[in-house]
Chains A and B, each alone.
Chain A
Amino acid sequence: MNLTIALAKGRLLPEAVKLLARAGVLPAEDLAKTRQLVVDATDGAKLLILKDPDVPVYVERGVADLGIVGVDHIRESGCDVLEPLDLALGRCRLSLCAPGPKERPLEALPGRALRVATKYPALATKLLATKGLGIEVLRLQGSVELAPVVGLADAIVDLVETGRTLAENGLTERERLLDVSGRLIANRASWRLKMPAVQALIAAFGDPS
């Protein structure tokens, strides 16, 4: 099939590997164990194991024909890719969260904007633009839930799955901003030039939505 498929090495990876196996794409090495970043698979396919935010970039530029990655990273990247299949992997949501009870209004200290810490600065800015809040977005690389606890930010925009991490840090979910799930993305030119192989893979994945 000669497709290059970019996989996000985060929490979606095990599920993505299962899906690929269902489509007959079997990696030559155990992806959970290997330190290789490029892994050959059956049928002449090639798998690229990438940091989640990089997957849309590789696909937009056509270095990978397809990718499997969360919609959070697709939107944050702003990359121009096709999204033919919602794989419904790793369902969660991107939410605005803040300390204190759910009913408490979101308020910054007088005289300054609401500080929002997030790993998704572009997406948070866009999703909060219509909420009537004056905000200042702080980009963090991880442990975002710590920011309000230690006074770095008034609120966070982050993924919420069970809400346990929030509760452990005294945060509550104030507003659900985006439903997140793993998507199959495709390069626009690959979609046209490798249509039969791409279609075969899509058919094998089925449409779980």
Chain B
Amino acid sequence: MTDTRAPLEAPEGTRDLLFEDARRLRSCEAAVGRVFGEAGYAEVVPPVIERSELFAEVASLRATDSTGRSLSLRADFTDQIARIAATRIKGTTPLKLWYRGPVVRDVAPGRIAPRERFQIGLELIGDASPNADVEVLSLAASAIEAVGIAADDVRISVGSTTYFAAVLAVAGTAPAIQAQLRDCIDRKDRAGTARLASSVADANARDALLFLASAEPQTQALSTARSLAPDEAAARAIDRLQAIVEAARARLGDRLEVDLGEVRGLGYYTGLVFNVYASGAPGPIGGGGRYDRLLARFGDERPAVGFSLDLDALAPLARSEGGR
């Protein structure tokens, strides 16, 4: 006899949010949304499916529709907002948008990143100034405050993809070695970085690679980075980051940390990148950065900067008096 029951288990990497968990998620979402709204950002609701080609940087979950076209579940909001801004809202600058909803990625089950995450975030489009970067960093801090997480329990670490890329470029190694260097630096593996860097001819570039893999004291990180800058663009990137950090510190204080070796995240970032950490969560609970060339995919030259938070990572940390 055939068993006519449906499979009982939900797909790996997903969760059912019941009762209190659901309430917490929604109240955090509401608290953060209020912060974004009060800061002058307007909500947009992008579709949950897109043409697969939109998600160039991430592994999306795909299906083929009846016309043979490949469609993907939303794998990244920023790609969608870039499409919408570039094709629908060209006239308004600066453009301030926020969004919320689930994001699905085709990650291997069992890894620390679940397949489905609930995100909330914003994008500031059309403002290339350091002020825009500071505004986004400040709003990330405000969003976390709004759910009732104490400032002491939060760190926002900032880096620069421009600087990182310049150092790797000057190291001038083969692509396979570059990938290994990225990996070693990402893991703060100084010994491994030193081994790989030993084949780099330029002494300054060797020092810069080791610096990226090290934990420089906060007071010195930017000045060391400046002195090791391999070219003019990298030096300018540090000057800009310094201006951003100085301005943002007024609002964020010691929550803000500089780590030029931490440039995880999607390949579309073109300058500032940052990750948000909170006590009680084992990895970043959100992050963002500047992506000045993403809208150009749709023929729009406007620069942009933004961030998102993982609500399902944030909600369990929220104090009840926070997200009402």
Q: B109 to nearest A CB, angstroms?
A: 13
Closest B residue to A190 using CB positions: B282
CA of A61 to CA of B153 in the docked complex: distance in angstroms?
Answer: 17
Residues of chain A within 8 A of B215, CB atoms compared: 84, 191, 195, 199, 202
Residues of chain B within 8 A of A186, CB atoms compared: 188
Most buried by A among B189, B280, B284: B189
Task: Assess whether A118 is interfacial by the CB under 8 Å rule.
Answer: no
CA of A60 to CA of B192 in the docked complex: distance in angstroms?
Answer: 20
Closest B residue to A88 using CB positions: B191
Residues of chain B within 8 A of A202, CB atoms compared: 215
User: Which of B190, B277, B280, B283 is A207 in contact with, Cβ under 8 Å?
Assistant: B190
Task: Assess whether B87 is interfacial by the CB under 8 Å rule.
Answer: no
Q: B102 to nearest A CB, angstroms?
A: 22
* Contact call A86/B191, Cβ cutoff below 8 A: yes
Residues of chain B within 8 A of A84, CB atoms compared: 188-190, 215
CA of A57 to CA of B280 in the docked complex: distance in angstroms?
Answer: 16
Closest A residue to B213 using CB positions: A84
* Contact call A188/B190, Cβ cutoff below 8 A: no
* Contact call A209/B191, Cβ cutoff below 8 A: yes
Main secondary structure of the interface of B (DSSP, over half): loop
* Contact call A192/B155, Cβ cutoff below 8 A: yes
User: Which of B153, B189, B194 is A193 in contact with, Cβ under 8 Å?
Assistant: B153
Across the A-B interface, how many residue pairs have beta carbons closer than 8 Å?
Answer: 63
Measured CB to CB, the residues of B under 8 A from A are 111-112, 153, 155, 157, 187-192, 194, 215, 257, 277-284
Task: Assess whether A4 is interfacial by the CB under 8 Å rule.
Answer: no
Most buried by A among B155, B191, B277: B191
Residues of chain B within 8 A of A79, CB atoms compared: 112
Most buried by B among A60, A61, A83: A83
**Top 8 A-B residue pairs of the complex, sorted by shortest distance between their CB atoms:** A62-B282, A86-B191, A192-B155, A209-B191, A83-B189, A192-B277, A82-B188, A84-B188
Contact A61 to B279, CB < 8 A, known contacts A84-B189, A84-B190, A188-B284: no
* Contact call A62/B157, Cβ cutoff below 8 A: no
Residues of chain A within 8 A of B281, CB atoms compared: 62, 189
Task: Assess whether A55 is interfacial by the CB under 8 Å rule.
Answer: no
Pick 29 A–B contacts, CB within 8 A, sort by A: A60-B112, A60-B282, A61-B112, A61-B282, A62-B282, A62-B283, A78-B111, A79-B112, A82-B187, A83-B188, A84-B189, A84-B190, A85-B191, A86-B192, A188-B282, A188-B284, A189-B277, A189-B278, A189-B281, A189-B283, A191-B215, A192-B155, A192-B157, A192-B257, A195-B215, A195-B257, A199-B215, A202-B215, A209-B190
- Per-residue contact bits, chain A 124-165, to B (CB 8 Å; 1 contact, 0 not): 000000000000000000000000000000000000000000
* Contact call A188/B277, Cβ cutoff below 8 A: yes
Q: A14 to nearest B CB, angstroms?
A: 22
User: Which of B111, B187, B284 is A81 in contact with, Cβ under 8 Å?
Assistant: B187
Measured CB to CB, the residues of A under 8 A from B are 60-62, 78-86, 186-189, 191-193, 195, 199, 202, 207, 209
Q: A63 to nearest B CB, angstroms?
A: 8
User: Which of A78, A86, A188, A209 is B283 in contact with, Cβ under 8 Å?
Assistant: A188
CA of A186 to CA of B187 in the docked complex: distance in angstroms?
Answer: 9
* Contact call A193/B190, Cβ cutoff below 8 A: no
Residues of chain B within 8 A of A209, CB atoms compared: 190-191, 194
Closest A residue to B186 using CB positions: A82
Residues of chain B within 8 A of A191, CB atoms compared: 188, 215
CA of A107 to CA of B238 in the docked complex: distance in angstroms?
Answer: 55
CA of A85 to CA of B279 in the docked complex: distance in angstroms?
Answer: 23
CA of A209 to CA of B280 in the docked complex: distance in angstroms?
Answer: 32
* Contact call A189/B282, Cβ cutoff below 8 A: yes
* Contact call B155/A193, Cβ cutoff below 8 A: yes
Q: A189 to nearest B CB, angstroms?
A: 5
